[in-house]
Amino acid sequence: MQSRILFPQSVQQLLRCPRCHARLTQAGQQIGCTNSECATNYPTVDGIPVLINEQSSVFLIDDFVSRRETFFGNIGENRLKRMALRLIPTNSKNIKGRTNYGRMSDVLLRQSSSPLVLVIGGSILGEGMESLLSNAAIALVESDVSFGPRTMLICDAHDIPFEDGSFDGVIVQAVLEHAVDPYRCCEEIHRVLKEQGVVYAETSFMQQVHGGRYDFTRFTHLGHRRLFRRFREIDSGAVCGPGMALAWSYQYFLLSFATSRSLRVLLRVFGSLTSFYLKYFDHYLINKRGTLDAASAYYFMGTKTEEVLSDRDLMELYKGVGSP
Ligand SMILES: [Zn+2]
């Protein structure tokens, strides 16, 4: 069977070995590293390249070849759950994503007439990303560590399989809390961006464990800024507010009482029906100073620089209210 070409030839030429960064060659379903000392072979699964560095990733290439459940599981298995969840009101609300993506599009199009953007965690469309998607001038390379409706490439953000300076933009939405080493991921994002390239990140702060065992860390607004200390800030702040944080906290409080699957489903339905309205407060709260101490998630948008924000300068960027 002929491999599907999921992204343009020009993008395929930017692909590099995730272990050693050497060029790759494709023969049928196999992709091989051209560095004789590395010589790693990578498979494609239904035409999707699986470019994982097994030496440093929590994932094995065989997880994808055998279609084992990774982050989101397999689409088929999740369809029933997705249908059930669609019937109850959600207690989550991304307030600023859409506006932020609009702004990112403007910045990208000022820098290039045909920007190329890497999406990390792009197996499904991120909240608010429609504006970016609808702009035909912007080309997306959608990568993830799970197969989903939009996955073009399986790769791990700890070892991004692209040449240095490949992208005009990188999107990493609701991903970095799920990385064992988010600092390394940000170094990789910095590496694959062109000079002045734009990063857009959304990362959890006050959210309980989601994604099961694939959930490792949280960031305050300032902690998130430090993660991107090799970037010049365009904008940052809360993307999901304290109302959502409270609804999640209440929901997980209820869920703490039960381990049985059926009882947890019931508690989830009850919790959602009795807390979904809290997210609407976030429209009012999202830009308040207190929200910088209490949000469900923060965003950061910035451009790549060669300078590093010092920790003393970082301290000056605190804009919350502080202790009561
Ligand atoms: Zn290699």
pLDDT reading at 242 higher than 50: yes
Q: 34 C-alpha vs ligand 1 centroid, how far in Å?
A: 7
Q: Which of 270, 306, 117 is nearest to 195 (CA)?
A: 306
Angle of helix 261-275 relative to helix 242-255, nearest 10 degrees? 150
Report the distance separating Cα 304 and Cα 321, nearest Å: 29
Model pTM above 0.85: yes
Q: 30 C-alpha vs ligand 1 centroid, how far in Å?
A: 14
At 33, list the tokens: 């590293």
The confidence score (pLDDT) of residue 75 equals 43
The answer to whether residues 51 and 15 touch, using CB atoms and an 8 Å cutoff, is yes
Percentage of residues in the chain having pLDDT higher than 90: 83
- What pLDDT, in 10s, does the model give residues 168-183? 999 999 999 999 999 9
DSSP assigned state of 242:
H
The answer to whether residues 247 and 301 touch, using CB atoms and an 8 Å cutoff, is no
Report the distance separating Cα 278 and Cα 290, nearest Å: 16
pLDDT reading at 115 higher than 80: yes
**Start-to-end Cα distance in the chain:** 64
Q: 120 C-alpha vs ligand 1 centroid, how far in Å?
A: 21
Q: 181 C-alpha vs ligand 1 centroid, how far in Å?
A: 22
Q: 35 C-alpha vs ligand 1 centroid, how far in Å?
A: 6
Q: 70 C-alpha vs ligand 1 centroid, how far in Å?
A: 24
Instruction: Print burial letters for 95-118: b (CB count within 10 Å at least 16), e (below 16).
Output: bbbeebbebbbebbeeeeeebbbb
Q: 123 C-alpha vs ligand 1 centroid, how far in Å?
A: 25
Report the distance separating Cα 254 and Cα 247, nearest Å: 11
231 burial (CB, 10 Å; 0-12 / 13-18 / 19+) is buried
Q: 16 C-alpha vs ligand 1 centroid, how far in Å?
A: 8
pLDDT reading at 76 higher than 90: no
Q: 165 C-alpha vs ligand 1 centroid, how far in Å?
A: 18
Residue with tokens 């759950």: 81
